[in-house]
Structure 1
């Protein structure tokens, strides 16, 4: 037991917390596993931690037990608030809970750097939240690292390399500005209720500056065009992006007959710079 609070199964029974599909909930009840996720985020002792979708608080307890300076938990499901209040009472002044939608809450008002984000993300908003955290107006962002649970398929897309079926927009968006690796895999039966798919935890550490220079909006636009028609050769998939796209592909060292999934990050960034006329 990581603290003196009751086992999560008892918490769920006491507060009648059946997981709801509408909230994308699948509860992880093994406190040994939630502690492993908390440890995967690294040293928490000098950091504020943002947790989205804490549910009955298994990971929350792991984060506090691992020494997080403060945990800010955002929970949309009001049924979970009494269980989280019990955790807050056990860890005085170290857990703040906001009832609300993580997509709408301004977390910066409540956090002091350095900030780490650690969450067993609800499946229905996980990818959208990741994209928001990876594409702020100004880089570097407010967070130092992300340690996030996803469906295994999404986790594999985040870390995928060129030439693989999973490689795509998400891989490039994350790897342009961060290092990412899968640190833990979990089978469906680790959760209540068991989802239909396996899950994985990805640890993402931000870079101070993007790996290669490029305008973020141009890079996203050209990558989106390429992968929206990933079976086509790039000269066809990107013809709407620029009238001289074949010349720009050649200038970027990319074969016009290549397909999007064959092109590495550096070449995509080079193409974005050519599109912006930054390369003479």
Structure 2
């Protein structure tokens, strides 16, 4: 299908979902269907550009985005946790030979590395965004192409010392390259969410290992005191003896949110070796 045909297909099936299926979408599961063709086309173009063959989609929904993914890759495995949405997707995608639909928890499938894929794709349920990013970081998949709340996307690319700089900023910077592709208003989805969404391409630059098993909790404790000086945060988190560990490693008079990702990693590795983290 060319772009015009894909857009026509989307309009036709959107009417089918709204007028005939009349699905009740769950706010608790952050179910917002893609309804703007431009978003689907942008997904397709990015997938074409990175030349991937196998995709895993988290959150099939009614299969709208799945259709666009299927035109760009050799095979798509798509997981949906809601049986009624998966049933709708089965009906809508019945002619798609290169799509496999799975009823299940997509996050658990990512964490198990059980699906063959070069890229994770998702019109991400907003309540899963941080969990999805962390699960992707800990996986072996090389790419992720996902929509996120605009403010979450800003956190991923936040500069050191900025208001959006967070533990997620640090974790992402250490393991991924982040490219913000395009931001879409609430009207691009049905039903409309309360915030805009940004399409983000994540590319792996290093792999997670058991060495980092306590890195999340280490960052969480320090960033719970992000405006404190590092020495005070360290005492609060690890006791006074921890100050001896950082001597000569980093300036402990800096405030936590002024440390760059490499500083946090070096601190963590030093603490891990000396405190059996």
Q: TM-score range by the shorter chain?
A: 0.7 to 0.9
Counting matched residue pairs gives 266
User: 1:203: how far off?
Assistant: 0.8
Q: For 1:170 and 1:38, how far apart are their aligned partners in 2?
A: 27
1:96 to 83, 100, 121: 100
Distance verdict in 2 for CA 1:57–1:31, change over 3 Å? farther
Aligned partner of 2:121 in structure 1 is: 118
Q: Which runs of 5+ in 2 are unaligned?
A: none
Q: For 2:256 and 2:47, how far apart are their aligned partners in 1?
A: 32
Deviation track 1:160-204 (CA, whole Å, cap 9, x = no partner) reads 120111111111111111111211101112221211111111111
Residues 263-278 of structure 1 mapped to structure 2, 5 A cutoff: 263-277=259-273
1:11 to 16, 28, 31: 16
User: 1:142: how far off?
Assistant: 2.8
Aligned partner of 2:246 in structure 1 is: 249
Aligned partner of 1:71 in structure 2 is: 76
- Alignment partner of 1:226 is 2:225: no
- Alignment partner of 1:130 is 2:133: yes
User: 1:97: how far off?
Assistant: 0.6
Distance verdict in 2 for CA 1:260–1:27, change over 3 Å? same
> Helix, strand or coil: the match of 1:276?
helix
Indicate the larger mover: 225-234 or 14-23. Answer: 14-23
- Alignment partner of 1:59 is 2:65: yes
The TM-score, its normalising length taken from structure 1, stands at 0.85
User: 1:24: how far off?
Assistant: 0.8
Distance verdict in 2 for CA 1:156–1:41, change over 3 Å? farther
1:203 to 186, 201, 212: 201
Aligned partner of 2:53 in structure 1 is: 47
Distance verdict in 2 for CA 1:86–1:65, change over 3 Å? farther
CA contact (8 A) 1:226 1:260 kept: yes
